[in-house]
Amino acid sequence: MGQSFPYKKVVVIGCCGAGKSTFSKQLAQISDLPLYHLDNIYWKPDQSHLKHRAFLKEQRKIMRTDRWIMDGNYGKTMMHRLKRCDIVYFFDLPTADCLQGVMKRDKKRNDIACELEPNEDFLNYIKSFQEKTRPAILLRFSKLPNLNIITFQSHEEIDRYLHSITI
């Protein structure tokens, strides 16, 4: 099945709770590309995290390979990934959908190395994503005019897309 998927270097970004990790897992199965959840690289089991340089170094190791899906935002390192990818999947879902997605998540997830409760700061990040983070992402996109971007604005669009590439 993976032979017909035309992309080899994939970036998946968007608001927390939008469904990026679920999509990335399904896309990895369809495409047979190795999947890297950036949360799993950044966070350690004790809830500490890598420093910026070490985090970027880990991403660069992945980017030196010729096949990957990287799931996660991390704005300070995003341009490095965007410059090297074949396609970006941008999850631009409504805030209410993202908040609902976070609240129904399993606490123990395989896409992050530790259990993180959705605290007030995290929920405020989601609530302000459309006004603060989204414009910064769109600005990065504008600096790379040849970037191949597919934007999803609903779970229905995501489901339709996944169905279309499995046929």
Per-residue pLDDT of the chain (167 residues; tens, 9 = 90+): 444 799 999 999 999 999 999 999 999 999 999 999 998 899 887 778 899 999 999 999 999 999 999 999 999 999 999 999 999 999 999 999 999 988 876 555 555 544 556 678 888 999 999 999 999 999 999 999 999 999 999 999 999 999 999 85
- Classify domain 6-166 at the CATH topology level: Rossmann fold (3.40.50)
Sequence letter at residue 154: S
Q: Tell me which residue has tokens 């504008």.
A: 142
Domain spans of the chain, in order of start: 6-166
Answer yes or no: pTM beyond 0.85. Answer: yes
